[in-house]
Amino acid sequence: MINKVAIIASCKERSASLLQAVKSLYDQVDEIRIAFNGYEEIPDWVKNYSKIISFLFPVDEYEARAVWLCTKQMGGYILIADDDIIYPKDYAHKMIGLIEKYKRKIVVVSHGSALTLPYIKYNKSCVFSHFKFALSKTMRVDIGGVGTLVYHTDTIKPNINDFPQSYLRDVQFGILCANKHIDIICINRPDGWLKPIPTIGDCICNKTDIVLKESLIKEYIIPKIKERKINVLHSK
């Protein structure tokens, strides 16, 4: 039996939406590890879910990076989830099925961006697939939404040192995969397969350092895309 573990980093303003996310994944995995960022204590409802393992970070020093602290000494399938998304009942089955189809040579997301050349800037040089909308066929992306990421530890083993910037985990994961020559595949899906949960509090995307994001893309991801295209041309 393949071990399946979901991991979520949550902020205390989203305790209610976190519960909805947990319920949507609970029967699909063997364990759910939750990093409670900025919480003074673990919410009472956690006691009702025996599969949950809690990690309390009252100071919120790790923020979105805390998920990687929860993956230590783990093997099998890892499902990184967000505390503001409801995942479908067949989520784990479909995501893992696609990875197995490619013999664990890929990682899979349901939210991501394929960058285009010549690269100008992110908003003008990408094909973007949002998790809440349909995607008719699978798409290779360069930046995958980590809150919809599924991977096997045979393929990749990210750790917190790979993510020095708190609010750029999607880009940093893209860099990690590019350096390791691992494809990020965005899964095909019907409209509304994943559903956003209305929340209060800041969204991580509102805390993103746009200048740094552009710098990382141009320095680390775009050269890998150009290299890949050259290799394709030479192989023809």
Which ranges of the chain have pLDDT less than 50? 203, 232-236
Question: How many angstroms separate the CA atoms of 167 and 15, rounded?
Answer: 20
Query: What is the domain partition of the chain in residue ranges?
Result: 4-235
**In angstroms, what CA-CA distances link 79 with 43, 118, 202, 212?**
22, 33, 23, 27
Q: Whole-model pTM? A: 0.92
pLDDT digits (tens, 9 = 90+) for 162-201: 998 878 999 999 999 999 999 999 999 999 999 999 876 5
CATH topology classification for 4-235: Spore Coat Polysaccharide Biosynthesis Protein SpsA; Chain A (3.90.550)
The answer to whether 52 and 46 are in contact (CB under 8 A) is yes
Question: How many angstroms separate the CA atoms of 80 and 151, rounded?
Answer: 9
